[in-house]
Chain A
Amino acid sequence: MCVLFSRPADDITMNYLHYFSKELVHLSNSLGHKTINKEKDRANRKEIISLIKKQEPNLIMFNGHGSPNEICGHKQEVIVSSDDNPEILKDTIIYSLSCASAAILGKKAVDVGAVSFIGYGQDFALGKDPDSEASPRHDKIAKLFLEPSNLLFSSLIQGKDVKSSVEKAKAKMMENVWYLNTTKSFTEAIYYAPFLFSNYIGLVAHGNQRASIEK
C-alpha cells in the first residue's frame, strides 16, 4: 500500500498539525506501507501532484489551510481545487485536515472518481494552551483537538474502513468535549468545548463508506 502525506509547517497552526501528524508517518512506516512524507516546503503543488500521478497512492492525508473548494500546501499554495483538478484524487481515499474542503471539493472529488473523501464541511478549529511558552509537544489543549484526527487516520492506515474510522474519531471528539465541559483541571477548558464540538459536527465522509486500503 502507498500512503502520501502532505504536511506544510509554515505558520503556527500548520506547525501544530505538522507536529501531531508525525506519529502517523511513523505508524505508516512501521506497518510496512510505502510511505511518502512531503513536509514543510516540499508540501507544494508541483511535488504533490507529480507524486500522486506517478505513485498512485491508496491513501492521502492533507494537512493544510483550505476552503470549500480547495486544499492548500506550503505557504497556502493551492494543491487541489474543485474547479481545476479534482480528478487527480481518483481511486484514492483522502483525509483532508483543512478548513471546509469537504463542502464542495470533497463531493466533486468523489463525483469524478475518488473512492472516499473525509474532511470537514466547515472551518476546522484548533485550541491552544494559553501558556504562551507551550510548544505543540506540551500543549494539552491542542491534543484534545488533534487526537481524534490522528485516531481517524491511524485507523485508516491500519486497514479499517472509512465509516468505522470516522465513527471512532467522532466518539473521541465527544469524549473530549465532555472532558472540557466537566474538568476542573484548568479554568479555560469549558470555553474550548464549542469549537471542538464544531469539528464534531463538521467531520463528514463522502463516497464509499466501506472503503479501506485493504479492499
Chain B
Amino acid sequence: MKNRHIEEIKKQIVIERLRQAPPSVKISFGNSNGGFMSRDQMIEQVEKDTEIGKKIIKIQLEYLRSFKGNTLDGD
C-alpha cells in the first residue's frame, strides 16, 4: 500500500514537471513509432502507466537524483 502511494507521488511529480514545459517540446523516445511525442502526449503516457510512461518517469527521477549526487555540478 505504502509503495503504491510512493509510486503515485512520483508519477504526479513527473506530470507536474512535464506540465511546466511549453507544449511545443518534442521528444522521440522508445516505441513512439518513429515520431516525436509532444509534451501532452508524454503526459498522457505517464498518466496511463504505459511502458513509455514508466520510462519517462525513470528518466525524470534519474535526472533529479543526479543533482543530489553532484553529477551535474558542471566542473
Contacts and interface: CB of A to CB of B under 8 A. Distances in A.
A12 B62 contact: no
B30 A192 contact: no
Contacts of A193: 63
Interface string A194-209: 1101100100000000
A128 B36 contact: yes
Contacts of B25: 127, 130, 188, 191-192
B13 interface: no
B28 A126 contact: yes
Contacts of B30: 99, 123
Contact of A191 (B21, B32, B62, B74): B21
Given A125-B59, A128-B26, A130-B26, A191 B20 contact: yes
Contacts of B10: none
Given A181-B72, A192-B27, A187 B59 contact: no
Contacts of B70: none
B20 A128 contact: no
Contacts of B28: 12-13, 16, 125-128
A103 interface: no
A16 B26 CA distance: 13
A107 interface: no
A99 B22 CA distance: 26
B63 A187 contact: no
Given A11-B34, A14-B34, A128-B27, A177 B72 contact: yes
Among B24, B28, B63, B74, the one with the most A-chain Cβ atoms within 10 Å of its Cβ is B28
B34 A130 contact: no
A16 B59 CA distance: 22
B62 to A, nearest CB: 6
A92 interface: no
A19 interface: no
Interface string B45-63: 0000000000100011011
A99 B60 CA distance: 18
Contacts of B20: 191
B72 A194 contact: no
A74 B61 CA distance: 33
Nearest to A127: B27
30 contacts: A11-B34, A13-B34, A13-B35, A65-B34, A99-B30, A123-B55, A125-B28, A125-B29, A126-B27, A126-B28, A127-B25, A127-B27, A127-B28, A128-B27, A128-B28, A130-B22, A130-B24, A177-B72, A178-B74, A187-B22, A188-B22, A191-B21, A191-B25, A192-B25, A195-B29, A195-B59, A197-B63, A197-B66, A198-B59, A201-B62
